[in-house]
Chain A
Amino acid sequence: MSKLLPLTVTEAVSRKRGQTLVGPVSLRLEGQGITVVIGPNGSGKTSFLSLLHGIARLSSGTIQWACPIEEARHAQAFVFQRPVMLRRSVLDNAAYPLRIRGVARAEARARAADWADQVGLGALLDRPATVLSGGEQQKLALIRALIIEPDVLFLDEPCASLDGRAMREIEEILLAARDRGTRLVMSTHDMGQARRLADEVLFLFRGRIHDSGPAGAFFDGPATPQARAFLRGDIVE
């Protein structure tokens, strides 16, 4: 059980230049598993994840981890929709989070190489990260996030614009991380992926949590008409 959770969010709002990006949202995040955030474009999925992670401004409300905020910030990681590659080798990219935590270079590299091997990047260690393919970059971003063994991992559409095989590989990594006890919160556009991975679903609509529930119940019969329409594939505005 992680020291971070439960996470309690009360009436949290993120505004930018007078415009409300997300909120007010209230939720409680605890236990194990994968929470999948779905919703139409512009419903605030990215802002929602950034807000929980603490990289978007909290304009009002509270976000309360079970431990002090400084500790909490070090025990979580974020994977962006478009992976940000450091201008370094694959190995040094993966080792970077360990290096900034003060792990010695040799040990950080050894652990990074180990992780890279596990996800099939073992042969590319000395390549510059920026020349990798999209799927390889996303896998690298993923192990770079997982290498610190975070208690909570946020992922913003990690499989956007990836093909089936890359998606399957990434899902395997995510499931393995869940089984090790990392709490995952991810947004996705792919309803198939949502059904495959979700233990819990949050349906975001117009910046608020419009509908939510355990995955089984939610996919069988969402409570709100908007969520029902969204699952049917209708355009929800």
Chain B
Amino acid sequence: MVDLWSGLSQAFWLMVTFDPELVEIALRSLRVTLSALVVASLIAFPLAAMLAVRRFRWRRTIIALLNALMGLPPVVVGLIVYVLLSRSGPLGVLGLLFTPTAMIIAQTIIIVPLIASIAHQSLRELWAEYHDLLISMNVTERQKIHTLIWDSRRALLTAALAGFGRAIGEVGAIMIVGGNIDHATRVLTTAIALETGKGEFALALALGFVLIGLAVAVNLGIHWLGRTERGGRW
């Protein structure tokens, strides 16, 4: 209990004094995860729409695979990305290992299946509703995908938020590919792991509360921007 209280108070002081180190790693956390989220959404939304609209041979297999990959273990993803990006690996020449970019790549891989699966679920329902109309209007496949994505933007926002939640709290993969280097690749989750290991429970807890606050703030912010639960049904 003492740890919890001192963690809370320390978190409070770290935040009101805008502790520069805290601000730095919190911003890095945000930057890495939001970048991964944007990239993952750009991949996952069109993929999900295509899976809803197009009928091709491996469609069911890919959908099943995406669903299965929602539970992809981050540590394994981190390991694979590490091997690919390491100096002797196929992408070693890019020199990306232990950089924020490597962390973004790993997080993107982790959340694409999650976002795509959730997005596909709602896009499929919308497609069932729109199918006859859009076929009748003779729209091209591109236009179909565009219409579906735009008209289910609220549901897609939820999918993106789920992805954000998974990415911001993730530690296994970014620890491996980022290396938790001070002032370079240290983010909130890896810092928490480090401080816990050092026995600095109060500081670790403080970072933990900041992380929770950050996740909640981003969620609320996006909800407010997207104006969900207001006005229309969608």
A78 is an interface residue with CB less than 8 A from chain B: yes
- The bracket for how many chain B residues form the interface is 10 to 19
Residues in A neighbouring B232, C-beta threshold 8 A = 87, 128, 130-131
Highest count of chain A CB atoms <10 Å: which of B133, B147, B152, B233 = B133
Q: Taking CB as reference atom, which chain A residue is nearest B129? A: A84
A213 is an interface residue with CB less than 8 A from chain B: no
Residues in B neighbouring A130, C-beta threshold 8 A = 232-234
Instruction: Report how many residues on chain A are interfacial, defined by Cβ distance under 8 Å.
Output: 17
Pair B132/A73 contact, Cβ less than 8 Å? no
B3 is an interface residue with CB less than 8 A from chain A: no
User: Which of B136-144, B177-185, B190-198 is the interface stretch?
Assistant: B136-144
Q: Mark B119-155, 1 if CB is under 8 A from A, else 0.
A: 0000000100110110111111001000100011000
Pair A86/B143 contact, Cβ less than 8 Å? no
Pair B132/A84 contact, Cβ less than 8 Å? yes
From A73, A87, A131, give the contact of B151 (CB < 8 A). A87
A97 is an interface residue with CB less than 8 A from chain B: yes
Residues in B neighbouring A96, C-beta threshold 8 A = 137, 147
Compute the total of residue contacts between A and B using a CB distance below 8 Å. Answer: 43
Q: Mark B214-234, 1 if CB is under 8 A from A, else 0.
A: 000000000000000001111
A130 to B147, CA, bound (A): 16
Pair A128/B233 contact, Cβ less than 8 Å? yes
Q: Mark A91-126, 1 if CB is under 8 A from B, else 0.
A: 000001100100000000000000000000000000
Smallest CB separation, A201 vs chain B (Å): 24
Residues in A neighbouring B129, C-beta threshold 8 A = 84
Pair A74/B132 contact, Cβ less than 8 Å? no
A155 to B191, CA, bound (A): 65
Pair A100/B151 contact, Cβ less than 8 Å? no
A90 to B129, CA, bound (A): 17
A16 is an interface residue with CB less than 8 A from chain B: no
Binding site for A on B (CB under 8 A): 126, 129-130, 132-133, 135-140, 143, 147, 151-152, 231-234
Binding site for B on A (CB under 8 A): 53, 55, 73-74, 77-78, 80, 84, 86-88, 96-97, 100, 128, 130-131
Known: A77-B136, A96-B137, A100-B140. 11 other contacts (CB 8 A): A80-B133, A84-B132, A84-B133, A87-B126, A87-B151, A87-B233, A97-B137, A128-B233, A128-B234, A130-B233, A130-B234
